[in-house]
Amino acid sequence: MKSYAVAIVGATGLVGQEFIKILQQRQFPLGNLRLFTTDRSAGKKVSFSYQDVLLEELHSSSFKHVDLALFSAGAEASCHFVPVAMKDGAVVLDTTAAFRLEESVPLVVPEINPQDLRRHSGLIANPCCIAIQIAMALFPIHRVNPVRRVIVDSYQAVSGSGASAMEELSLQARLILEGKNVIPHIYPHQIAFNLLPEIDVFLDNGYSKEEWRIVRETRKIMHAPEIAISATAVRVPVYIGYSAALHVEFSSKITPEEARGILGASPGVRVLDDPSVSLYPQPWVAAGQDDVFVGRIREDISLPNGLALWVVTDNVRKGTALNAVQIAETLIERGWL
Amino acid sequence: MKSYAVAIVGATGLVGQEFIKILQQRQFPLGNLRLFTTDRSAGKKVSFSYQDVLLEELHSSSFKHVDLALFSAGAEASCHFVPVAMKDGAVVLDTTAAFRLEESVPLVVPEINPQDLRRHSGLIANPCCIAIQIAMALFPIHRVNPVRRVIVDSYQAVSGSGASAMEELSLQARLILEGKNVIPHIYPHQIAFNLLPEIDVFLDNGYSKEEWRIVRETRKIMHAPEIAISATAVRVPVYIGYSAALHVEFSSKITPEEARGILGASPGVRVLDDPSVSLYPQPWVAAGQDDVFVGRIREDISLPNGLALWVVTDNVRKGTALNAVQIAETLIERGWL
């Protein structure tokens, strides 16, 4: 069996660490593994499958002999080094927002649009976490009953901002439980026991970049530019797991029972839906899991042919690292790497 | 100036305590104050304006010589004792869900439908917290540009379940920060660092009672049975402050600027809306405040004539106790008590 030289850029970050874990868990056909970091940890070593791997600094010839480069060191690092990696012949999977909406760059969720990978020219973008789970919950139904309108309100964990935000949540929570005040660092305001309707910077139209990503990326993944979408993206004091309340208008009538049947038969989706016994998706439970969990499926009485859904996913796994590794596996399977 | 004999039923609860605080803060024209409790604290004393007030047990003649009875001891206590209080001639303000949707019972937010108080026959219901803030944000615009459709997703603090739920959040948060597991008591699952899309029991249509209250009570307060509404109600690990993301379709076009102007001139509403400097409503900041805070006002691009809004209120104050005291003040002002 062929093996592949893989580089992880941002190897010390939350997603980078998850990449390392998932490559092992899924027994990825790994040849050489190169770990790059953009912080001060270059020169240190990381253990991988009983071996020590050196953390390297990025430079202009880092990607020689690399088959696959997984980027998770922020959009700025991607802007600089993705072209470098491509020039050296590596196929890049970029988890940042840097190139997602470029026409020539496939934006892929393997369960939804794997065929878009065929036309890649060295760079594939991983969608933002929240768009992945929205598309995963909508697409199986959309294929048989096209979506016309979606309203999304999100409940996004702090791990979306990286490991330091998780530490900040812990630190702030401790201080508040001791009756002390907190000084925010990562977020503009306190996040412990609070909510912030601000994820990324704001556009002139009043939407945050994250909300706009929900609109644009969901449409691109689903090849459905005609869907009307709007969203409010909110940061919540949860460590891992993004949740989203969806209110969807379909082209024709669909019952909750039909939706449960379709979603229950969809790879990567798990239906947890018996509210009478308090069974529904929860971020605390979804953390560490691979599936997109869907529940609270009911008629949305405010919309024609409406359904309301509650969708929860581990934002670090299926939301980011797992989805990217699944893209790599699909490329290998279909001979497109 | 005339003064009124007031009874508080559920005086040791979170809302009961807030009643005591607000009556003092607003210098309510208080004659005799009677404090009733349904727990084991009867016989103890509570300090009020430098005096000690005895906590009494409820019985069939508790409401003799009471002008105004404020009920906040749960729906069961209201079902039993509201008729008793009415028989003895007290005007009842009930903050529980017991009578809210009865045709003959006015459901009032004083800034919106004070005229409904005129037809009271001894019993007035206080709407549920989340419906109050939704109606407060919608009604000023609705009067000039009728609302057609509203989709609401809520982010509701644990104080809505009483003081013991606030303690449970603290206890669970402490345990988790120490790396320990938690055993839930008040809620069916862990609430610290988690989300629960379950508030009150579920109906056969898949909506929770809380979600259904949003639908029914918002329409009743606004005298607008024709508005299409749906909602997802979610409990979040926040102590005080309910937040709601609203996606609204109006009858005709309205710009965010026009909406800001209308809401900014509405009593009881405060616009906090400059996201470019991270200014928007937050539950942590709304706690202890009287106003309904509205921000993130922008075009909702998924709906015709759409606006998206983010609305936050202290659920214990304007959401419950303050609104009820404002109803009492309105009754007095207009001579309807």
Q: DSSP characters for A220-250?
A: HHHT-TT-EEEEE--B-S-SS-EEEEEEEEE
Rounded alpha-carbon distances, angstroms, from residue A194 to A55, A89, A158, B14, B158: 37, 46, 12, 20, 12
pLDDT digits (tens, 9 = 90+) for B64-97: 999 999 999 999 999 999 999 999 999 999 999 9
Of A150, A155, A188, the CB nearest to B195: A155
Q: How many CA atoms lie within 13 A of A114 on its CB side?
A: 15
Q: Which H or E run contains A43?
A: none
Q: Mutation test of the interface with chain A: which of B158, B255, B284, B312, choosing the one with the most A Cβ atoms within 10 A? A: B284
Edge-first strand listing for the sheet containing A228-232:
A228-232, A147-155, A242-250, A306-313, A292-299, A269-271
* Token reading at B59: 């019985």
Which chain A residue lies closest to B226 (C-alpha atoms)? A302
Residue B1 above 80 pLDDT? no
**How much is the mean pLDDT over chain B?**
97
Test B228 with A194 for CB contact under 8 angstroms. Answer: no
The encoded tokens of residue A140 equal 């199986």
With CB atoms and an 8 Å threshold, state whether A193 touches B303.
no
Tokens representing B60 are: 């069939």
A190 chain-B contacts, CB cut-off 8 A: 284
- A163 CA to chain B: closest CA distance, Å? 15
B98-103 average pLDDT score:
96
| Dihedral pair phi/psi, residue A93, rounded to 5° | -110, 110
Nearest to A193 among B190, B237, B308 (CB): B237
Q: For residue B41, name the pLDDT band (cuts at 50, 70, 90).
A: confident
pLDDT band for B233, please (50, 70, 90 cuts): very high
Q: Which residues in chain B have their CB less than 8 angstroms from residue A296's CB?
A: 197, 206, 232
Q: What residue of A is the nearest CA neighbor of B173?
A: A173
pLDDT of residue B153: 98
With contacts defined as CB-CB under 8 Å, which chain B residues touch A299? 205-206
pLDDT, position A200: 97
**pLDDT digit of tens for each residue in chain A (337 aa)?**
799 999 999 999 999 999 999 999 999 999 999 999 988 888 999 888 778 999 999 999 999 999 999 999 999 999 999 999 999 999 999 999 999 999 999 999 999 999 999 999 999 999 999 999 999 999 999 999 999 999 999 999 999 999 999 999 999 999 999 999 999 999 999 999 999 999 999 999 999 999 999 999 999 999 999 999 999 999 999 999 999 999 999 999 999 999 999 999 999 999 999 999 999 999 999 999 999 999 999 999 999 999 999 999 999 999 999 999 999 999 999 999 9
Q: Which residue of A has its CA nearest to B171?
A: A177
pLDDT tops 80 at residue B177: yes
Residue B302: HSE in the Cβ half-sphere, 13 Å Cα cutoff:
32
* Among B229, B274, B186, B258, residue whose Cα is nearest residue A198: B274
Quick one: closest CA in A to B308, which residue? A232
CB contact under 8 A, A151 and B151: yes
Interface test with B, best of A209, A240, A296, A299 (most B CBs within 10 A): A296
- The Cα of A79 is separated from the nearest Cα of chain B by a number of Å equal to 25
- Condensed to tens digits (0 to 9), the pLDDT of residues B312-330 reads 999 999 999 999 999 999 9
Which residue's entry shows tokens 């072209």? A83
pLDDT of B50 > 90? The answer is: no
Model pLDDT, residue B207: 98
Mean pLDDT of B273-283: 98
pLDDT at B38: 85
CA distances B3 to B8, B49, B50, B94, B322, Å, are: 16, 15, 18, 21, 19
Q: CB–CB of A236 and B173 under 8 A?
A: no
| Of A230, A236, A276, Cβ closest to residue B195 | A236
Are A55 and A78 spatial neighbours (Cβ–Cβ below 8 Å)? no
Cβ neighbours of B83 (radius 10 Å):
13
Chain B residues whose CB is inside 8 A of the A280 CB are: 196-198
CB atoms within 10 A of CB A264: 13
Question: What is the per-residue pLDDT for A50?
Answer: 79
Q: What distance in Å separates the CA atoms of residue B91 and residue B66, rounded to the nearest whole number?
A: 8
> Nearest to residue B154, comparing CAs of B256, B232, B70, B52?
B232
> What is the reported pTM?
0.97
- Closest chain A residue by Cα to residue B206: A298
pLDDT of residue B291: 98
Question: Which residues have C-beta within 8 Å of that of residue A317, sequence separation ≥ 6?
Answer: A18, A22, A288, A289, A290
pLDDT tens-digit series, residues B182-219: 999 999 999 999 999 999 999 999 999 999 999 999 99
Instruction: Quick: pLDDT tens for B127-145.
Output: 999 999 999 999 999 999 9
Q: Do B275 and A174 touch (CB under 8 A)?
A: no
CB contact under 8 A, A296 and B195: no
Distance, CA of A327 to CA of A221 (rounded, Å): 13
When pLDDT is cut at 50, 70 and 90, the band that residue B16 belongs to is very high
Give the CA distances from residue A156 to residues A133, A237, A238, in Å, rounded to whole numbers and listed in that order.
Answer: 12, 8, 8
Nearest CA in chain B to A285: B194
Q: Which residue of A has its CA nearest to B294?
A: A197
Q: How far is B335 from chain A (nearest CA, A)?
A: 40
Look at B194 and A170 and tell me if their CB atoms are within 8 Å.
no
Domains of chain A: 4-127+320-333 (3.40.50.720), 131-314 (3.30.360.10)
- The total of other beta-carbon atoms located within 10 Å of residue A303's CB is 22
Three-state secondary structure along chain B?
Answer: CCCEEEEEECCCCHHHHHHHHHHHHCCCCEEEEEEEECCCCCCCEEEECCEEEEEEECCCCCCCCCCEEEECCCHHHHHHHHHHHHHCCCEEEECCCCCCCCCCCCECCCCCCHHHHHHCCCEEECCCHHHHHHHHHHHHHHCCCCEEEEEEEEEECHHHHCHHHHHHHHHHHHHHHCCCCCCCCCCCCCCCCCCECCCCCECCCCCEHHHHHHHHHHHHHHCCCCCEEEEECCECCCCCCEEEEEEEEECCCCCHHHHHHHHHCCCCEEECCEHHHCECCCHHHHCCCCCEEEEEEEECCCCCCEEEEEEEECCCHHHHHHHHHHHHHHHHHCCCC
Distance from CA of A253 to the nearest CA of B (A): 16
- Predicted pLDDT of residue A41: 86
- A230 neighbourhood in chain B, CB within 8 Å: 247, 300-303, 306, 308
Check A228 against B256: CB less than 8 A apart: no
Q: What is the pLDDT of residues B51-62, one digit of tens each?
A: 899 999 999 999
| Cα(B125)–Cα(B213) distance, integer angstroms | 13
What pLDDT was estimated at residue B68? Answer: 98
